[in-house]
Amino acid sequence: MAGYRDLYVAKRPLTFAGVEHVEGKPGYIVLGVPFDSTASYRSGQRFAPMAIREASVNLEGNGYMLDGFVDDVNLYDEGDIIVPHGNVHEMLSRVSRVVREVAEDAATPVLIGGEHTVTLGALRGLAEAGVKPCVVSLDAHFDLRSEYMGERYSHASWLRRAVEELGVKAVVVGVRAYDKEELGYAEVSDSVSYIPAWAVRTLGVKATGLRVKSFLAECREAYLTIDMDFFDPAYAPGVGNPEPGGLDVHQGLQLIAEIASTATLKGMDIVEVTPHYDQSGASSLLAAKTLQQALIAHWLAASRRR
């Protein structure tokens, strides 16, 4: 029976890591979501799925500090979820329908954004499939605004909506930019905890990873969302809302390897690259390496469990 994946997903001329085919049933379904309609500063996230795919085919497939290669991960890149520009509700609906089908097919959805709002669609889709994960958000921002520029559904408010609509529990790691209202919300909310970027530096990556893992130990399932602005703009300048004071490449990749090695992870995404503000291509390259690293770490953890 044809489903929403047949209706909404279109093949693209390049695939993540150059994977053309996988033996047996893929464990990870990669999907681009070229959407950027609520971008408030630097836009163009709709071009990121192809830029990150292009970077990925020009990188070697080895993990950093991980004994594995992305080539061994049983992933399949189905293409992009075709979403209408300017219609955030239709985008969320299509992403949630496709992600639901992937989850019901016992595969792990791996989204390449697009702006951060796409994560709300993924969480809705997982919830419809009976998966209610706790969320680890690696992000310079809380994304907890009640509304942003009059819009309730945006890259700056998706996590607030996920808490309100889905009862999501979340930890935001690397945060360092917020307004008073969302900081107040984060401080009193039982649903959201956070580890500021400065605390990651003080604690160290290992201790931060352990803190995140102890949070996830209370949850049946987990979801990892990586906003590329979590890295310092020295390493990832091409993002929608760059903010100084982020993690460096080695800190970031080590932390992601720790967190993604959570066997209960049911989905992940990487968002907010803006290729036209990424003249050197460094941000897309780092996004591709980051996604490789997360996939290898999770695949190794899941293989150990089998």
User: Which positions lie near Mn ion, rule CB under 5 A?
Assistant: 116, 139, 143, 227
Q: For residues 166 and 120, is the Cβ–Cβ distance under 8 A?
A: no
Nearer to Mn ion by C-beta: 78 or 269?
Answer: 269
Q: How far is the CB of 130 from Mn ion (least distance, A)?
A: 26
Q: How far is the CB of 35 from Mn ion (least distance, A)?
A: 14
The Cα-based distances of 117 to 53, 240, 273 in angstroms read 20, 12, 13
The Cα-based distances of 194 to 31, 135, 174, 208, 222 in angstroms read 28, 11, 8, 11, 16
Nearer to Mn ion by C-beta: 77 or 227?
Answer: 227
Nearer to Mn ion by C-beta: 53 or 116?
Answer: 116
Q: For residues 16 and 52, is the Cβ–Cβ distance under 8 A?
A: yes
Task: Evaluate the CA torsion angle 98, 103, 107, 109 in order and state its sign.
Answer: positive
Nearer to Mn ion by C-beta: 5 or 124?
Answer: 124
Nearer to Mn ion by C-beta: 83 or 135?
Answer: 135
The Cα-based distances of 156 to 152, 255, 272 in angstroms read 9, 23, 12
Q: How far is the CB of 59 from Mn ion (least distance, A)?
A: 24
Q: For residues 174 and 229, is the Cβ–Cβ distance under 8 A?
A: no
Distance CA 134, CA 141 (A): 18
